[in-house]
A and B are shown apart, each in its own frame.
Chain A
Amino acid sequence: MTSRTARYVPTVLAIVMAIVVLVPLSMMFTVSLNPDEAQIQITLGTVRAFIPHVVSLENYQQVLADPHQPFLRYLLNTVIIVVGIVGLGLIVNASAAFALAWGQGAYRKLFIGVVIAVYVIPGESLVLPLLLMMSRVGWIDSYQVQIVPFIANSFAIFLFYQFFTGMPRELMEAAKIDGAGLLQTFFRIALPLSMPVVSTLAILGFLDAWNSYLWPLMVTRGPEYRPLSVAMATYFTSQQAFWGNVMAFAVLMTLPVLVVYLIFQRWFVASVMSSGVKG
């Protein structure tokens, strides 16, 4: 191979990679814009399935108007769940991490040890006992059953702990001399400083909510509290032959994540690097 042709190898490979990634996604968009279900069936395996040639929003109207699968309700449910987990998790995990980093108690070493140890427990091992607990207290089919068990998070505590232990001791002592207790120091100084960790956890929590499937599948019974992930699966199963509608639903579900990704791309990359998402 001469060096002239070798220069183009990376570009060619990068284009192949882009095609492999973009073909399935452009197929979703193209099919969602085609109102003719019969034509979709015939052309699904051809070039016409991933290069838009008609632009109609009919499928989208049908998805949004379907009374049995209320998309906007699912979206609202998902947003409530993600705001609940991320918002409450932020306060609970950050405050615990702060006490662990700057408190006095002798329990702290043990607590950190437990936080690191429980991180290896896969959530899948816990769903059945949790389900049993939740059904005995009557929490099945609710928002709290999808929020409360996931507020405290060992990974989040650990991330905040690392951040808070890195804060200068002088800062803490200055706050103490000014008469601030541990609580005030946390809310006025530590929490505002920890925005990088906050944004990381917010983005990961957001992705998690859009991907979580097993738990909401087990604890929701109908559209009232069901999140988008499970709704997408149900919609797909019930509309097997109607690819146009299914893809319109898929696009509507992907758009919020895509928008957040395009706005916060830099933070996104950094956040994902610090943890594994998706089950």
Chain B
Amino acid sequence: MIQRPPPEASPTPPRTAPSHSGRLSAFLHETALIAPAAILLIVFLILPFFMAGYLSFTNERLVPRPIPTRFVGFDNYTRVLGDPDFWQAFRNTFYFALLVVPLQLSMSLGAAMLLNGRLRFRSFFRSVALLPLVTPITVIIVIWAAMFQIPDGLLNNLIRLFGYQGGFVNWLGDARWAMPSIVLLSAWATFPFQMLIYLAGLQGIPIERYEAARIDGANTWAQFRYITLTGLRNVHVFVIITTTIQAFKLFVQVDLLTRGGPLGSTNTLVRYMVQEGYSAQRIGYASAIAVIFFLLVATFALLQRALIPND
């Protein structure tokens, strides 16, 4: 047993040069701070990430079965690339993005410019514009389901009011209209987010530029074209890419309203992956879709980092 030295005998350690035990305790403190996050990130993010890659080369099933899981090489990938359902989901996902991104961008930029300009009751209008953002997405879907009602829901009555002659539109039940309907709902649901980003961007454009342009005789359109749009270049890149990535992830709207139908016209990459991996329990096959989906999203995310200097 080590005898404890009497207290008066222990000198206070010099503050400038840390002792060996001081360095050890600093190391322990740092480990205690960093370890929980490191372990959780490894177990729940990095491990599943590599598992998805590994599983995509196997015929793993969700529920264990008597036949052991086999390594199947590139089989899943060749099957995915020859799978018409996959390509339909792929096309649908891009179609959705192609429609929703411009719509959402013009809605959000328009709303942001309104709220940034001279406007009475500005804070009231801003609070109203933000309401879709605080409404849970499943609630928004339910409300729109009521508006999509046939034959005389709100939207059908509205288009008849504006002179539509063809009876009614089967918004969600018609393969031509189902995806555009999902686009309307989705643009409504998330435009306030992009609006806030644009608002921050607009507030960063010095007002003197507009004054100088007015003195030089620039009209409203020229001011919008050469000052607003040019001044927002980096904001545009950010908003376009984040909105596109968000659009690629389309799932809950179609899962709840159309189940991917009619005729697969609203099935998306994420929904097809869930359908294969969860409902049909083909984890190996679905993991190949997950890897392709990751590559797609990562490409766009890296594009953003390349296009915006020192983000």
Contacts and interface: CB of A to CB of B under 8 A. Distances in A.
A164 B57 CA distance: 42
A195 interface: no
Contacts of A14: 114-115, 119, 121, 125
B136 A229 contact: yes
Contacts of B143: 24-25, 27-28, 247, 250
B30 A276 contact: no
Contacts of B130: 261, 268-269
A126 B119 contact: no
Mostly, the A contact residues are helix
Q: Is the interface of B mostly helix, strand, loop or mixed?
A: helix
Interface in A68-103: 91-93, 95-96, 98-100, 103
A162 interface: no
Contact of A24 (B60, B136, B144): B144
Given A13-B114, A118-B45, A124 B139 contact: no
Interface in A212-262: 213-214, 218, 228-230, 232-233, 236-237, 243, 246-247, 250, 253-254, 257-258, 260-261
Interface in A109-152: 111, 114-115, 118-122, 124-133, 135, 148-152
Nearest to A20: B188
A105 B136 CA distance: 42
Interface in B103-142: 110-111, 114-115, 117-121, 125, 127-142
B286 interface: yes
A186 interface: yes
A93 B125 contact: no
B110 to A, nearest CB: 8
A159 to B, nearest CB: 13
A204 B141 CA distance: 21
Contacts of A28: 139, 142-143
A17 B251 contact: no
B51 A133 contact: yes
B72 interface: no
Contacts of A186: 33
A265 interface: yes
Contacts of B25: 181
Interface string B279-311: 000010011001101100110011000000000
Contacts of B207: none
A277 interface: yes
B277 A128 contact: yes
B145 A17 contact: no
B112 to A, nearest CB: 11
B294 A125 contact: yes
Nearest to B64: A136
A140 B193 CA distance: 33
Interface in A49-78: 49-50
Contacts of A278: 133, 137, 189-190, 193, 246
B146 A265 contact: no
Q: Ordered nearest first, which 4 A-B pairs have the shortest CB separation?
A: A96-B37, A152-B40, A129-B51, A99-B33
10 contacts: A31-B146, A45-B152, A49-B154, A95-B32, A96-B38, A105-B30, A119-B301, A125-B291, A152-B40, A269-B130
Interface of A: 10-11, 13-14, 17-18, 20-25, 27-28, 31, 44-46, 49-50, 91-93, 95-96, 98-100, 103-105, 111, 114-115, 118-122, 124-133, 135, 148-152, 154, 157, 177, 181-183, 186, 207, 210-211, 213-214, 218, 228-230, 232-233, 236-237, 243, 246-247, 250, 253-254, 257-258, 260-261, 265, 268-269, 272-273, 276-279
